[in-house]
A and B are shown apart, each in its own frame.
Chain A
């Protein structure tokens, strides 16, 4: 898996050229009123006008693109597989596949010629999941793993996009779509919709590592804060509520440790 090489290549992007593009984008944002920005037409125009050029932003977007490629390809194959997805769930997977394809196209449009090509995937993860496209429970398990990892991946990258408001907004708008996907898949699997280290549904533990956090924002202890509101419940029930009320981020490295086994090779 040589994704890390790709990512370090990105860091060599010409910084000076980046500055120029970034400046024009920021200037555009500063001189625009909020009302105009709120309209979808304006938003589309803005994000299409300037390709992402800041090296950090390019790195984040290419990382996101890799995950979207993975998801888009996974659902494309799943929808094409005969007798895999039951009639009752076809709408869900047609729509999710459509969204993931749109995310790929959108990220490519943002990256312009800096967009990385689609790598080759191995959805068996070197034999760990031997039959993802003929065994529906396995397909669903992987779907859940990819969606919940996607949510955590975007969450982890969002702070890096803070200086590019248009890109940050777009990333957040993809992030919540991934969360909608994850929730519906978990419902189909009759799991709890909320994440914790306990409710993995057979997905590798790394996908939910750290989801039991009960302290937020440098030590605000939610257990203590909410105690009086749940006085009729026992401590473990309260702890479950607190854990499930927040989704936690993953770093790029943590995400790639999860996604890596599914990535066979990066094309040149």
Chain B
């Protein structure tokens, strides 16, 4: 499979060494074991192999790959790598959320469960796409904390889902103009409308055939949807992610 050579930038900064896949953890009963393994790997990587990406940035003035900083936080990288890693972060979050919901939530109808699984499956495809696109520049698998979500309340589950999906839509919208490669822009366009369909479905599960299901409170008086710039996206997503994520090297308008 051919990786994105356009994303493999000259003078790319340090990349994250290969971390053994924890993909299959979503099929494991215990999230705890997988998380501990990931954290141990992350900390050893940070000690042994990596330097801060700022060095290569100042040397080349060019874009740089993702990196794990000495304090264990994760830098998404710059340019299209950084934007793709931001999308990869959100897709990881959504996959983990839907899997947790399907496993933990109570009071779900068969239809509720079917909807959550479909959303989960799409997000797996999106996540795997970005993972392949990024290749060695992909950030590692992250660990999540959904303790703020009441999985005993069916509506709380769909409310959280709707918020994740709306952040996804706004994130892609805000990132679009920051993307350099036209091919990456095309791909982002192919996914953002699916995220918007997800957002509508999760809203529809709470209030079908209403202003709410159309996302009206996000849409301004010109009929334009919300957009969020990368730092704003992380401000909303960080509390669900155990590792500290940095978008400091992402492009600016």
Contact = CB atoms under 8 A, between A and B. Distances in A.
Interface string B193-216: 111110111001000111101111
Interface string B5-24: 00000000000000000010
Given A226-B125, A242-B125, A177 B223 contact: yes
A183 B227 contact: no
A115 interface: no
A98 B197 CA distance: 19
A176 B122 contact: no
Interface in B209-242: 209-211, 213-216, 219-229, 231-232
Contact of B182 (A159, A178, A179): A159
Interface stretch (A3-11, A116-124, A130-138, A187-195): A187-195
Nearest to B229: A38
A140 to B, nearest CB: 12
Given A173-B227, A179-B197, A158 B1 contact: no
B225 A174 contact: yes
B187 interface: yes
Interface string B124-158: 11101100110000000000000000000000000
B190 interface: yes
A229 B124 CA distance: 8
B41 interface: no
A220 B215 contact: no
Interface residues of B, number: 62
Interface stretch (A15-23, A199-207, A245-253, A257-265): A245-253
A179 B222 CA distance: 16
A181 B122 contact: no
Contacts of B224: 106, 170, 173-174, 177
Interface of A: 29, 32-34, 37-38, 40, 44, 88-89, 91-92, 95-96, 98-103, 105-106, 151, 155, 158-159, 162, 165-166, 168-170, 172-184, 187-188, 193-194, 216-222, 224-226, 228-230, 241-242, 244-249
11 contacts: A34-B253, A88-B209, A103-B223, A158-B176, A169-B176, A176-B225, A180-B225, A187-B208, A194-B122, A220-B133, A229-B23
Interface of B: 1-2, 4, 23, 118, 121-122, 124-126, 128-129, 132-133, 169, 172-174, 176-177, 182-187, 189-197, 199-201, 204, 208-211, 213-216, 219-229, 231-232, 252-253
Given A38-B229, A241-B121, 9 more contacts: A33-B252, A38-B228, A159-B185, A170-B224, A181-B214, A226-B128, A230-B124, A241-B125, A245-B194
